[in-house]
Amino acid sequence: MYCLTVRASAIFNGLDLSYAIERGSTDKRKCRLEGCWTAISGPESKFCSKQHGLEYMREAMRALELRQSNEKDENSEEDRKELTKAELVQLIRHSSTYETLKNIGATLPDVSVDLENQPRLKKIDEDVADLEEKLKLESLRKQLLIKTRENVKRLSEEITAAMDTGTSKKKVKKVEVCGFDLSFNNEADFFKDVTEDDLVSKQTEQLKERFISLQSSDKDTEMEDLYPNICLTEKKKCLKHNGWQTMLTDEIDMNIQNLEIQMTKLLERKKSIIKVLKTDLFEQKAHVKQKQMLS
């Protein structure tokens, strides 16, 4: 015994019961020709047969011709966007396969457009150049940050070695300085002319002597000591700059990511504008050529 699924619309339209009644559900697509409820001939087809495919195209052509004959002449020939029957026939004749016909217009012909005198494109180029400059500065900040981190590590190692005089049997405690450079509090523009040689952290000999003098003085070593513009407080005691290396790295990476997103959007917008300009120019040339052929 079978479960029958009968579509009411199919029965009223005289559908063959061999299609309307099947085992289980009947989700097979029907022919696109109006009034035909027969199943399509194959997975790649839209019609039940070649004859119905041709009939569908004939009806579409008749509908196009009727619509164009009834339209009021509100737009000029240059503003017309819809194909005429003759143009549609020409396209079909020059298309050897359905795929060829379907892909017409998928790619834009190579049309030479004057892009230099386009205000919108000029503004986008200026914005892109500005973003590129900001990206360079953020990349420079990142390089200087990496170098500063290396310098601070080397400084801590040299301080630890200097503190080990060899006179005591007790092992010298490893020293780690904070090493935060106040220059990184400035905006990215500050680093435009800064090189690795300009980094205060590179002056390891002077900084090492300063740190040792602080240890031998009566000054409270838990207090922040900036000399010159670099924090020489021990890392574990410096709460003010706790995690500065990680935070600065994350900040710079986020800035670079945001700048790259902005640049991608601008370039996509530029690409879209150029496509519209080329399309408009191509259509204008096509209409002029068509009028010349008809005249």
CB 142 within 8 Å of CB 249? yes
> What is the Cα–Cα distance from 246 to 36, expressed in whole angstroms?
69
Instruction: Provide the residue type at 98 as one letter.
Output: Y
Q: Chunked in runs of 10, what are the mean pLDDT values of the chain (295 residues)? A: 45 47 58 89 87 88 71 50 65 70 65 76 94 96 96 94 73 89 90 90 90 74 74 92 96 97 95 83 67 58
For 94-154, what is the HEC assignment?
CCCCHHHHHCCCCCCCCCCCCCCCCHHHHHHHHHHHHHHHHHHHHHHHHHHHHHHHHHHHH
What are the two backbone dihedrals, phi and then psi, of residue 195, each rounded to the nearest 5 degrees? -120, 175
Q: Among 247, 236, 242, which Cα is nearest to 156's?
A: 236
pLDDT score for 257: 97
100 and 197 share a domain?
Answer: no
Q: Residue 155 domain-assigned?
A: yes
Question: How many domains is the chain partitioned into structurally?
Answer: 2
pLDDT score for 30: 86
Q: Residue 123 domain-assigned?
A: yes
188 and 58 share a domain?
Answer: no
CB 64 within 8 Å of CB 88? yes
Coil, strand, or helix at residue 170? coil
Token pair for 182: 């106040």
Q: Residue 279 domain-assigned?
A: no
pLDDT score for 80: 52
182 and 60 share a domain?
Answer: no
- Which residues span the domain enclosing 98? 31-66+84-105
233 and 257 share a domain?
Answer: yes
> What is the Cα–Cα distance from 168 to 200, expressed in whole angstroms?
32
pLDDT score for 3: 45
What are the two backbone dihedrals, phi and then psi, of residue 30, each rounded to the nearest 5 degrees? -95, 165
61 and 177 share a domain?
Answer: no
Sequence-distant (6+) residues with CB within 8 A of 95 are 101, 104
